[in-house]
Homo-oligomer: A and B are copies of this chain.
């Protein structure tokens, strides 16, 4: 059993279909550090077949019900689905995410569906690194469809969903008035807009609002134009149309080489992030805490400013 915790053995087991090994590997990724890195490294050459769909939107917009319906849509094509439910703003909802999602329980007995929640550990940005790695582990496990769903709609959530190949942004009728939405960020990442709870008043206004946003964004003529799909997730209304829109976006990306470009851009951003973090930790390892403390006292006494202190840190490490 102890051997199962070895990252390489875990990845071999999970790519052979071992769900307990998968759960353990995801826990290692969530914890971060050296083991996370090893898991991700071993998983990388084994992945590449999964397609990732991101789902974001304001709390209460109906994302989890919609995700439940999309799982069913994918399962009607007999495809296996992995779901990563992410909450970047709350360290305490790791359990609650799934607890709240009664509908998700419908899939508990379906071996073709794997659901995992992930919450922030420690500082902001931790999930931005862990979420794509978790998706890669799920990819190495062979799921052809990978869904990633976030709880909120802030900048952190947008960054997390930004790792997906196709990104669904869920709004409701009346969203423009009620939500202090991160509109610019949402517009930038949306490949498909969903107006969920479309049995309520205000669908036409929401649609007009989204159209106006798209007009303003001045897309090039050969760019993908995000379709706007109305759904009532509770009754499954419009969900097939939404699933079809995701399929069309996927076809568009694949036929225009957009998929490769998008994935490479994402890899580039991630490599930058890894480099920046390594260099940062190396810098502060090289600096003794006495040196840093001395500098901070000088700053606190306003003899030097923060930037001068930062310059001195860099000189002392490089010298």
Give min CB distance, A88 to chain B, whole Å.
7
Main secondary structure of the interface of A (DSSP, over half): helix
Chain B residues with Cβ under 8 A from A44's Cβ? 302, 305-306
4 interchain residue pairs of minimum CB distance? A89-B154, A276-B280, A274-B310, A44-B305
Is residue A295 within 8 Å, beta carbon to beta carbon, of the partner chain?
yes
**Contact yes or no, B155 A314, CB < 8 A:** no
**Number of copies of this chain that the complex holds:** 2
| B-binding residues in A (CB < 8 A) | 37, 40-41, 44-45, 47-48, 59, 87-93, 96, 120, 123-125, 151-156, 159, 180-185, 260, 263-264, 267-268, 270-272, 274-276, 278-280, 283-284, 292, 295-297, 299-300, 302, 305-310, 313-314
Q: Which residue from B124, B305, B309 sits with its C-beta under 8 Å from A156?
A: B124
Chain B's closest residue to A261 (CB) is B300
**Contact yes or no, B283 A87, CB < 8 A:** no
**Contact yes or no, B274 A307, CB < 8 A:** yes
Q: Which residue from B40, B125, B156, B306 sits with its C-beta under 8 Å from A154?
A: B156
Give min CB distance, A131 to chain B, whole Å.
14
**Contact yes or no, B279 A124, CB < 8 A:** no
CA distance A270 to B309 in the complex (A): 10
Chain B residues with Cβ under 8 A from A47's Cβ? 302
A124-B156, A279-B276, A313-B275 as given contacts; A307 in contact with B41, CB under 8 Å: yes
**Contact yes or no, B313 A264, CB < 8 A:** no
CA distance A229 to B149 in the complex (A): 37
Chain B residues with Cβ under 8 A from A306's Cβ? 40, 44, 267, 270-271, 274
**Contact yes or no, B296 A96, CB < 8 A:** no
CA distance A309 to B270 in the complex (A): 10
